[in-house]
């Protein structure tokens, strides 16, 4: 069972959603790149899931419960006290991130906090801590949402730099700082996510490829396999695998 909800008006500027997942069996959940950063409370405690550039298979046991806060692409900023590129393709315990005012009260093991045993109470505590932290952190790069949106719309990296009045080097530096990777990688990921949404909505793959800006369906298939490790069909109709 996996559910997403809006974050509420107090977090809507920086947070895409809050979510709750309970594994119904021993399985491996496939996490694919989405340009987001998540704060997650799982069976082993609190950790940060950085921006991925490839598939991240996650073993889950029956009954494992996770709750999370997902930041919008490119706007996590300095919330976790380290540059975003240092979190790329990483799962980092919150306790390993030094100097994060506003979040230390969450640096506890879930087993030692019985009052926070319920997922809703954990999510409530996480929301409050993130809200406090956001009031003390620097604002995110205001160009980040436009960079992601225009790349997803099919503009080239050079066109995006021109539209924003940046040199190629400036766009590269700001994209790496905000998203954790270079503009070409970001473009590949947001295009993949757009194609995935269209495919899950029932659009034929040839049309998905053309609409999402791929050269052809073969190009789409190659990019999907490189970013997720599996064919598009597996992402549209996932098959559960034993852990």
- The predicted pLDDT at position 238 comes to 65
- The two beta strands, 45-49 and 91-93, are antiparallel
pLDDT category at 223 given cuts 50, 70, 90 is: very high
Higher pLDDT: 2 or 224? It is: 224
Query: What pTM value is reported for the model?
Result: 0.89
pLDDT tens digits, one per residue of 97-129 = 876 655 656 655 444 455 667 888 889 989 988
Q: For the chain, what is the largest distance between any 2 Cα atoms, rounded to a whole number of angstroms?
A: 54
Task: Report the range of poorest mean pLDDT among 49-53, 106-110, 185-189, 205-209.
Answer: 106-110
pLDDT category at 132 given cuts 50, 70, 90 is: confident
Average confidence (pLDDT) over 23-49:
93
Whether 52 has a pLDDT exceeding 90, the answer reads: yes
What contacts 24+ positions apart, CB below 8 Å, involve 149-154? Answer: 151/183, 151/186, 151/187, 151/190, 151/191, 152/190, 152/191, 152/193, 152/194, 154/191, 154/212, 154/213
What percent of the chain shows pLDDT beyond 90? 70
Of the candidates 79, 102, 94, which has an alpha carbon nearest to the alpha carbon of residue 178?
79
Whether 173 has a pLDDT exceeding 50, the answer reads: yes
Higher pLDDT: 53 or 138? It is: 53
- The predicted pLDDT at position 102 comes to 55
SS3 call for 155:
coil
Q: Which two tokens stand for residue 111?
A: 């087993």
- Structural domains in the chain, CATH included, are 2-135 (no CATH), 142-236 (1.10.10.60)
Alpha helices in the chain (DSSP H): 119-136, 144-152, 157-164, 168-179, 183-200, 205-212, 217-228, 232-236
Average confidence (pLDDT) over 175-199:
96
- The predicted pLDDT at position 100 comes to 67
Higher pLDDT: 112 or 25? It is: 25
Of the candidates 81, 107, 87, which has an alpha carbon nearest to the alpha carbon of residue 37?
87
Task: State the burial class of residue 5 (Cβ atoms within 10 Å of its Cβ: 0-12, 13-18, 19+).
Answer: exposed
Sheet holding 37-42, edge to edge: 2-5, 15-22, 65-71, 37-42, 45-49, 91-93
Task: State the burial class of residue 130 (Cβ atoms within 10 Å of its Cβ: 0-12, 13-18, 19+).
Answer: buried
Q: Which residues pair with 4 in a beta bridge?
A: 19
Of the candidates 75, 81, 86, which has an alpha carbon nearest to the alpha carbon of residue 181?
86
Whether 32 has a pLDDT exceeding 60, the answer reads: yes
pLDDT category at 168 given cuts 50, 70, 90 is: very high
What percent of the chain shows pLDDT beyond 70? 90
- The predicted pLDDT at position 118 comes to 83
pLDDT category at 242 given cuts 50, 70, 90 is: very low
SS3 call for 92:
strand
pLDDT category at 45 given cuts 50, 70, 90 is: confident
- The two beta strands, 15-22 and 65-71, are antiparallel
């Amino acid at each position: 069972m996996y559910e997403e909800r809006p974050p509420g008006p107090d977090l809507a500027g920086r947070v895409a959603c809050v979510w709750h997942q309970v594994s119904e069996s021993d399985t491996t959940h496939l996490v694919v790149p989405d340009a987001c950063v998540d704060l997650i409370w799982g069976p082993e405690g609190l950790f940060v899931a950085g921006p991925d550039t490839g598939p991240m298979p996650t073993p889950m046991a029956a009954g494992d419960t996770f709750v999370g806060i997902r930041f919008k692409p490119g706007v996590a900023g300095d919330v976790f006290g380290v540059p975003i590129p240092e979190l790329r393709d990483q799962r980092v315990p919150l306790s390993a991130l030094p100097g994060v005012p506003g979040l230390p009260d969450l640096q506890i093991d879930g087993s030692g906090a019985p009052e926070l045993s319920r997922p809703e109470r954990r999510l409530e505590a996480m929301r409050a801590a993130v809200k406090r932290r956001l009031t003390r952190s620097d604002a995110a790069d205001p160009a980040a949402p436009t960079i992601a949106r225009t790349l997803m719309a099919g503009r080239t990296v050079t066109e995006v730099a021109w539209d924003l009045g940046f040199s190629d080097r400036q766009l590269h530096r700001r994209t790496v700082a905000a998203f954790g990777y270079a503009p070409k990688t970001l473009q590949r990921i947001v295009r993949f996510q757009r194609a995935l949404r269209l495919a899950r909505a029932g659009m034929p793959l040839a049309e998905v490829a053309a609409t999402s800006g791929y050269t052809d369906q073969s190009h789409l298939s190659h990019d999907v396999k490189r970013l997720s490790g599996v064919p598009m069909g597996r992402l549209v109709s996932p098959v559960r695998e034993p852990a």
